[in-house]
Amino acid sequence: MNTIGSRIAYFRKQKQMTQEELAERLSVTAQAVSKWECDTSYPDILGIQALAKELGVTVDELFGEERKIPEVKEATPEIIDRRIVLIEVCTGETKVTTRFPVSAIKKAMETDTLRNLVGEDAFEQIDAMKGMLDAGMTGPLVDVDNPDAKVSISVEDYEN
């Protein structure tokens, strides 16, 4: 996957989508998609973000940057009870950062308080990571970036 065209074709096939289906979703012709994939022309600069979204990748990935997999490490038993969850929510010009003890996050999950704070997409990711919280893991756990908000969640060892 050395060219943008080969990456577009690869990601489209990963989504089990035809050129026609991708074209319809982007309001372009199937011939345009074919030309992109053959590297004879390229998507309009204003359409790159929509293309990336339809393919389920980032714009950086379309241009060849590899997605970085977060490193997660196991916390030592001595500090499991001293972990905190760092939640950052960015919407437009507003950025909210919160820090909660893991025990408070677990309670917030049970009462839907966390779902209301971070939104449905991020909450589904957090709920899937609950086992990691229970096991004492630390590090970045969730990174959700959608048109409405960017949410990142990590678990850190609490230090005074």
Using only C-alpha atoms, the chain has a radius of gyration, in whole angstroms, of 20
Match domain 4-62 to its CATH number in 1.10.260.40, 3.40.50.300, 3.30.70.141, 3.40.190.10. 1.10.260.40
Per-residue pLDDT reduced to its tens digit, 4-53: 899 899 989 988 999 999 999 999 999 999 999 999 998 888 888 889 88
CB neighbours of residue 91 within 10 Å: 12
Residue extent(s) of CATH 1.10.260.40 domains in the chain: 4-62
CB neighbours of residue 27 within 10 Å: 9
Look up residue 51 and give its two tokens: 């293309």
Across 36-40, 65-69, 125-129, 132-136, the highest mean pLDDT is recorded for: 36-40
Query: CB–CB of 106/89 below 8 Å?
Result: no
Please compute the mean of the pLDDT values over residues 88-107 and round it to a whole number.
Answer: 80
pLDDT at residue 139 is higher than 90: no
Residue-level length of the chain: 160
Query: CB–CB of 4/63 below 8 Å?
Result: yes
- Give the model's pLDDT for residue 18: 93
Per-residue pLDDT reduced to its tens digit, 55-74: 888 888 888 876 555 555 56
**What does DSSP say about strands 94-101 and 73-74: parallel, antiparallel, or unpaired?**
unpaired
